[in-house]
A and B are shown apart, each in its own frame.
Chain A
Amino acid sequence: MAVSEGGSRDRRDLDASVEQVQAYLQSKEWFQDGKIRSVATIWHRHHEEDAEVVLPFPYVKDFRQRIRDALSAIASFENRAPADVLSDVKRLFANVIAIRVIAEDTDGGTIPINDGVLLIAKAKDLLSAAARSLYAKRKQFTRGAPKEAKEYLETLLLGQTEVGSYVVNVIAPVQAVPVQRELATAIPLAQAITASLVAGLGALEKASTTYEEHGDLGVFDEAVLAGASSNMCDALLGFSGEKHNRAFEITVTAASSPLFETKPSKFVFGGKHVGVLEKATSYYKGDYVLPQRTLFGHITKLSRPRDETSRTITIDAQVGDVERKVQVELSGDEYHMAVIAHDESKMVRVDGDVHVKSKSAQLLNPSNFGVIEPDDLPLHGGRGDEDL
């Protein structure tokens, strides 16, 4: 009677696997209460006689329909839609990264389209940053992720968006790791990447708080060891929208695993954190300002272009742990002092905010320029300023 459309038993697009449904049933206190020959298992609940799920084995001919019946039976028992059950069944085997954007204009569950697009693109970037830091700890990643990580990133799924401010769910499926004797402690790549994400976000959150207290960008160096990077910061900044004006929070819920913390981890980035993230990413990229520093050093270059009023000197000075050539613009009198100091190979000093870039450094708001006489040399050799 029915019209044949062919391919009805094509199992590629099956919604859930037996293992997934079985794990779900076990997690919800169903127990296996028998078998139908070698075609299905029967699941019941204590004290609830009418609750029954028949779970087919994968090779039976009516598998597709029976697995859907199983989801329907669970849905009926839980008094909700089968699609909702399916969603939970899948999440049991996946890490879920929920990004909630909090702003007045996202209260109704909508978001301006450009920010929505940015949000989703950056969600993938966030996972990519976490994946790359798994292989190497760097302030900035300029190359793509390694092949395995890239392949894994392609398996990420975007869940349904949720109302309640604006929430995007990224579902990161966890593949089972084949049991190998020599790799007894192997964990799936998905779990390792998620762990790296949690570590990186945690370190950034901590570093941001410390930075707010002490104003020292050096705290972000430590976060790199935990997996933070400019790429991670940029992804996070994307969540705050094109104008970087929205607060957001990220909740990472990991799939059940004996080797992995299953309690959800939540990271909150308020408005002030967004500003700190901007500084952190610049710092990681080697473009940042160290405020109120005093530099000591020898002049290596004097520059006074014809027909221009600016007079610039370059000082070899210790900035943090690195000796940098810092350009300083001086007034006429100061420049004259600098020329003499240079002639006499004397050191100079100057206060200001050091703007460090990847290949150069410049002193902003220079003041108190002076020549150091041999008697004035600081005890530590006149080469550095305070620690970063």
Chain B
Amino acid sequence: MDPQKQKEQFNYAYVCALAAHAGLNRVDSPVDDDSIDVAFKSRGYHGRPIRSPQIEFQLKCSAQQNLVDEVGGVIKYKLSRKNYDDLRGDDFAAPRYLAVLLVPAELEAWIAHNDEHIALFNSCYWLSLKEAEPTDNEESVTVHVPLAQRLTSAKLLEMMDRASHGEWL
């Protein structure tokens, strides 16, 4: 498998595992948007404006170890101008996020098999570009994904909760 494709699939499986744990349904319909890789839907938010909210993700996976700025507490990720524009702003009917997964440089280190569990490496972080400003950059924009914003199953549920109000986390 092409290494890039391998990262994409790993990232997809990683996020889908979190969503499954959170009890979210993956949206099966083909997502006709090249800046969205996966979408999740949930039901039962009765009493909220939206009873069946939906959230969407653009997934980015990298094995580059120099993206993390430990001092600033962020991942500096270079997004294409198109992806940036497609994720930016709040004129979307379903909230959308960027999710960045950093994997170890060595493929063997992506998964650890243990007797009672497996572990996926490393962590995935999320970012909303709802408030992001327009840019004059032609090719790309470097976004800062806070290391404090780890994507977890609980976080997905929080995102869904906000989405039931038509809002972002």
> Does A66 lie within 8 Å of B52, measured CB to CB?
no
Contact of B89 among A61, A66, A69 (CB under 8 A): A61
Which of chain A's residues have a CB closer than 8 A to the CB of B80?
4
Least CB distance from B63 to A in Å reads 14
Least CB separation from A34: chain B residue: B49
How many A residues touch B, CB cutoff 8 Å? 31
Least CB distance from B167 to A in Å reads 8
Q: Which of A12-66 contact B (CB under 8 A)?
A: 34-37, 39-40, 42, 44, 49-50, 52, 54, 56-57, 59-66
Q: Is A140 an interface residue (CB 8 A)?
A: no
> Does A56 lie within 8 Å of B93, measured CB to CB?
yes
| Majority secondary structure, B binding face | loop
- From B32-40, B132-140, B150-158, the one touching the partner chain is B32-40
> Does B37 lie within 8 Å of A8, measured CB to CB?
no
Which of chain B's residues have a CB closer than 8 A to the CB of A60?
91-93
> Does A39 lie within 8 Å of B59, measured CB to CB?
no
> Does B32 lie within 8 Å of A50, measured CB to CB?
no
In the complex, A196→B73 CA distance in Å? 73
Q: Is A176 an interface residue (CB 8 A)?
A: no
Which of chain A's residues have a CB closer than 8 A to the CB of B50?
34, 36, 42, 52, 54
> Does B32 lie within 8 Å of A64, measured CB to CB?
yes
> Does B36 lie within 8 Å of A2, measured CB to CB?
yes
Q: Is A3 an interface residue (CB 8 A)?
A: yes
> Does B29 lie within 8 Å of A1, measured CB to CB?
no
Q: Is A191 an interface residue (CB 8 A)?
A: no
Least CB distance from B67 to A in Å reads 16
Q: Is A5 an interface residue (CB 8 A)?
A: yes
In the complex, A8→B50 CA distance in Å? 26
In the complex, A81→B82 CA distance in Å? 33
Q: A8-B32, A68-B29 are in contact. Are A37 and B90 (CB under 8 A)?
A: yes
Which of chain B's residues have a CB closer than 8 A to the CB of A64?
32-33
> Does B46 lie within 8 Å of A62, measured CB to CB?
no
Contact of A39 among B31, B37, B60, B93 (CB under 8 A): B93
List residues of chain B with CB under 8 Å of any chain A CB.
8, 11-12, 27, 29, 31-37, 43, 46, 49-52, 54, 56, 58-61, 80, 82, 86, 89-94, 96, 166
Q: List 18 A-B contacts (CB under 8 A).
A: A1-B58, A1-B60, A4-B34, A5-B34, A34-B50, A37-B90, A37-B166, A49-B51, A50-B43, A50-B52, A59-B91, A61-B89, A62-B56, A62-B96, A63-B93, A68-B32, A69-B29, A69-B54
List residues of chain A with CB under 8 Å of any chain B CB.
1-5, 8, 34-37, 39-40, 42, 44, 49-50, 52, 54, 56-57, 59-66, 68-69, 72
